[in-house]
Amino acid sequence: MEKRVVVTGMGAVTPVGLGKDRFWSAVKDGVSGIGEITKFDSSGFDSKIAAEVKGFVPSDFIDRKEARRMDTFTQYAIAGAKMAVEDGMIDMDRIDKNKLGVVLGSGIGGIETLENQFKVIFEKGPSRISPFFIPMMISNMAAGQVSIVFGARGPNETVVTACASGTNAIGDAYRIIQRGDADMVITGGSEAAVTPIAVAGFCSMKALSTRNNDPQGASRPFDSDRDGFVLGEGSGILILEELEHAQKRGARIYAEVAGYGMTADAHHITAPAPGGAGAAAAMERVIADAGISAGDIDYINAHGTSTEYNDKFETEAIKQVFGEHAFRLAVSSTKSVTGHLLGAAGGVEAIAAVMAIYEGFVPPTINYNTPDPECDLNYVPNRGEKRDIDYAISNSLGFGGQNASICFKRFK
C-alpha cells in the first residue's frame, strides 16, 4: 500500500524576502521583488532588470570558510533547507538519518562559478584555477552539501529539467516516500543565474522583458502587453514526510501531496507544443494520480512566465483539461511578483500553492492591466482573494518540452 505524504516544513530564499513567512506575505500582497540589476554592470544589455535576492548573508547560515567554497546556488539551497527544517520543528537527533533523503532541482547549477573561473583561466592561466572549481560548479552539489549539513544518508539526487526542475524534484521526493525508501525528504529547487553570461544568453533569445524603465511592472503574466520573463534567483525548499512519521513526532501538517504528473512535448527545444498539449497531458496525469476529477481542483499556480507563447498555450491547456470548470477555478502566476527563478521556480511556487491551501487565500497575478482575448481565465488580477481550497495544482514547464505538475490537497 502506498504511503501518504505530507508537507511539514518550508523555507525560502526569494527576491521578496527570506523565509516562508516573508515570501508568502509579499506574494499575498502583490509586492514585486524586481528591480535594476545590481550584481554587474548591465549597461550593454537589452534587459537591465532582474529579481535579485536581497539581504542574503551567507554566514547567517553557513560557516564563512565553507561558504567561500560554494556557489551561490548551493548557499541558497542550504539556507532554504535550514529554514525548512526549523519551520518543520525537526530534531535531527531524533530521526533515522538513513531514511532522510535530499532531492533538489537546479536548471543551471553553478554558472556563477563557471563564469568566474573562465575569467581566471583566460587572464591568469590554468594553474590559477581553483581546486574547488568543479565541486562548486556541478549541479548536484546543492543536494550533496545539504546532505552533508544534516547527515542525510537516504536517497539523494539532483533533477535538471530546466524550469521544471523544482517541481520534478518534489515529485520524485513524493514517489520515494510513497514507496517507503525514505521517511522524510528535503526537496525543492535552487538557482543563482543572475550573471552576465546567463542574462546575455536569454537576451540573445529575446526571452527577457526589456521594460527597463518599469522594473516592478515588467513581469505581467497573461497580460496583453507582456514582453518576456524577468530572470530571478533563490531557493524554495519543502520538507515532505510520511504521514505516520509526521504524526508520531507531532508535526504541523500544512497540506498533503495528492499526485504528480510529468510529460514531454517532444516538439521543440524552447517553444511549447501548440495548444499546450504537453502541459495538458501533465495536468491530466496529476489529476488521475490524485484519484480525483478535474472539477475538484480549486486553484492552479500557473507556470505563467509572461511570455507570449507560454501564457497563451498554458491557458489553452487549462481549458482543454478543465472545460467549463476552467472559468470557475482560480489561476494565478506568482512569477508576476518573484520573476522566474528557473530551476527554483517549482520550489517557491509549490510553497505558494501549499500556503494558499493552508490559509485559504489565492495570491494575485499582479500587473494584469490589459486583458488578452486569448488569455481569458480568472487570473486573480492584482488583488488576492480569500477562497477555500481543497485541491491545488502547481505547474512547471521547461525548455526541452519538459512538463511537471504537482497536486496538493487540504489535509484531513
Nearest to 191 by CA among 127, 227, 236: 236
3-state secondary structure of 156: strand
Is 163 catalytic? The answer is yes
Catalytic pick among 245, 340, 375, 407: 340
Q: How far apart are CA 160 and CA 189, in angstroms?
A: 10
Looking at the DSSP bridge assignments, the partners of residue 330 are 299
Helix axes 345-359, 165-178, angle to 10 degrees: 60
Q: How distant, in Å, are the alpha carbons of 1, 82, 110, 235, 338 from that of 352?
A: 30, 19, 26, 13, 11
Q: How far apart are CA 207 and CA 194, in angstroms?
A: 14
Q: How far apart are CA 14 and CA 246, in angstroms?
A: 27
Nearest to 332 by CA among 256, 387, 293: 387
Nearest to 202 by CA among 412, 401, 389, 399: 399
**Could you tell me how far CA 165 lies from the centroid of its own chain?**
8
- The H-or-E segment that residue 286 falls in is helix 277-290
Give every CB contact of residue 1 below 8 A, 6+ residues apart in sequence: none
Q: How far apart are CA 390 and CA 382, in angstroms?
A: 23
Question: Distance between the two ends of the chain, CA-based, in angstroms?
Answer: 19
Contact at 8 Å (CB) between 219 and 15? no
Is 340 catalytic? The answer is yes
Q: What are phi and psi of 152, to 5 degrees?
A: -80, 110
Q: How far apart are CA 115 and CA 127, in angstroms?
A: 17
Strand (E) positions, 106-252?
Answer: 156-159, 184-191, 234-242
Q: Which residue has 530521526 as its cell numbers? A: 95
Catalytic pick among 163, 203, 375, 407: 163
Contact at 8 Å (CB) between 141 and 156? no
Q: How far apart are CA 166 and CA 153, in angstroms?
A: 21
Catalytic pick among 203, 245, 303, 375: 303
Is 267 catalytic? The answer is no
Q: How far apart are CA 363 and CA 356, in angstroms?
A: 7
The catalytic residue positions are: 163, 303, 340
